[in-house]
Amino acid sequence: MRRRPASLSAFFLLAVSLAAAVPALLIGAAGFAAIVGLSSSGSEALEEVFIGSISGEISALMDKAQSGLLLAGSSLGPGAEGERAIERLRELFPAFDMVLLLSERGRIELASPLGPEYLGMDMSRQGYFSRASGSELPVWSQNFISIYSGNPTITLTARVPDGYLVGYISLRSLSAAIERAGLPEGAEGLVVDSEGVVVAHRDYRLAEESYVVSREDLERGASARPGSPRRIRFAGEAAYARFVPFGSMGWYVGILRSPSAFLSERRAFLAVLAASLAGALAFGGAMAASGSSRLVGGLSSLALAARRVAEGEEAFVPGAGPGRSPFLEVGEALAAFGAMDLRVRERENAMRGAERELSASLEEKELLLREIHHRVKNNLQVISSILRLQAQAVEDQTVQDLFNECQNRVQAMALVHEQLYRSVSISAIRFGGYVESLAAVVWETFDGTGKGARLELDVADAEMSTDRAVPCGLVLVELLTNALKYAHPEGGGRISVAYREEGGYGSLSVSDDGVGLPEHFDPESARSLGLSLVTSLASQLRGRLELSGPPGAAFELRFPLA
Percent of the chain predicted with pLDDT > 90: 12
SS3 assignment for 317-351: CCCCHHHCCCEHHHHHHHHHHHHHHHHHHHHHHHH
Domain locations in the chain? 174-259, 366-560
Would the pLDDT of 368 be above 60?
no
Closest Cα partner for 513 from 490, 543, 483?
A: 483
Instruction: Using alpha carbons only, give the angle 522, 527, 529 rounded to the nearest 5 degrees.
Output: 110
> 8 pLDDT band (50/70/90 cuts)?
low
Q: What is the model's pLDDT at position 22? A: 55
Phi, psi of 54, rounded to the nearest 5 degrees: -65, -45
Would the pLDDT of 268 be above 70?
no
Yes or no: say if 454 and 493 are a contact pair by the CB < 8 Å rule: yes
Average pLDDT over residues 167-175: 87
Residue 381 to residue 483: CA distance in whole angstroms:
25
Q: Which of 95-99, 167-171, 397-401, 420-424 is predicted with the least confidence, judged by mean pLDDT?
A: 420-424
> 496 pLDDT band (50/70/90 cuts)?
very high
Yes or no: say if 518 and 483 are a contact pair by the CB < 8 Å rule: no
Is it true that the peptide bond before 550 is cis, omega within 30 degrees of 0?
yes
Q: What is the model's pLDDT at position 509? A: 94
> 556 pLDDT band (50/70/90 cuts)?
very high
Would the pLDDT of 406 be above 60?
yes
Element (H, E) at 547: strand 544-548
SS3 assignment for 98-151: EEEEEECCCEEEEEECCCHHHCCCECCCCHHHHHHCCCCCCEECCCEECCCCCC
Residue 432 to residue 438: CA distance in whole angstroms:
10
* Burial (CB count within 10 angstroms: exposed 0-12, middle 13-18, buried 19+), residue 353: exposed
Average pLDDT in the chain:
77
Average pLDDT over residues 112-128: 85
> 324 pLDDT band (50/70/90 cuts)?
low
3-state helix, strand, coil in the chain (%, to 5): 55, 20, 25
Long-range pairs, 211-218, Cβ under 8 A, ≥24: 211/235, 213/254, 217/241, 218/192, 218/243, 218/252
Given phi > 0 = left and psi -120 to 50 = alpha, else beta, which region is 363? alpha
Residue 494 to residue 480: CA distance in whole angstroms:
11
Would the pLDDT of 41 be above 80?
no
- What CATH topology corresponds to 366-560? Heat Shock Protein 90 (3.30.565)
Would the pLDDT of 174 be above 80?
yes
Residue 212 to residue 369: CA distance in whole angstroms:
47
Would the pLDDT of 473 be above 70?
yes
For the ranges 176-185, 415-424, 478-487, 537-546, the maximum mean pLDDT occurs at: 537-546
Average pLDDT over residues 267-289: 58
Exposure pattern of 2-39 as b/e (b: 16+ CB <10 Å)?
eeebbebeebeeebeeebebeebeeebeeebeebeeee
Q: Whole-structure pTM over 0.85, yes or no?
A: no
Residue 399 to residue 298: CA distance in whole angstroms:
91
Residue 172 to residue 201: CA distance in whole angstroms:
9
> 232 pLDDT band (50/70/90 cuts)?
very high
Q: What is the model's pLDDT at position 562? A: 81
Would the pLDDT of 309 be above 70?
no
Residue 478 to residue 471: CA distance in whole angstroms:
11
Average pLDDT over residues 225-254: 88
Residue 251 to residue 245: CA distance in whole angstroms:
6
Q: What is the model's pLDDT at position 38? A: 46
* 203-216: pLDDT as tens digits: 888 888 889 999 99
Which residues touch 131 (CB under 8 Å, ≥6 apart)? Answer: 139, 141, 157
Of the candidate CATH numbers 3.40.190.10, 1.10.3720.10, 3.30.450.20, 3.40.50.2300, the domain formed by 174-259 belongs to: 3.30.450.20
Residue 400 to residue 490: CA distance in whole angstroms:
20
Residue 227 to residue 441: CA distance in whole angstroms:
59
* 13-36: pLDDT as tens digits: 566 555 545 555 555 555 555 555
> 59 pLDDT band (50/70/90 cuts)?
confident
* 432-452: pLDDT as tens digits: 888 888 888 888 877 655 677
Would the pLDDT of 553 be above 70?
yes
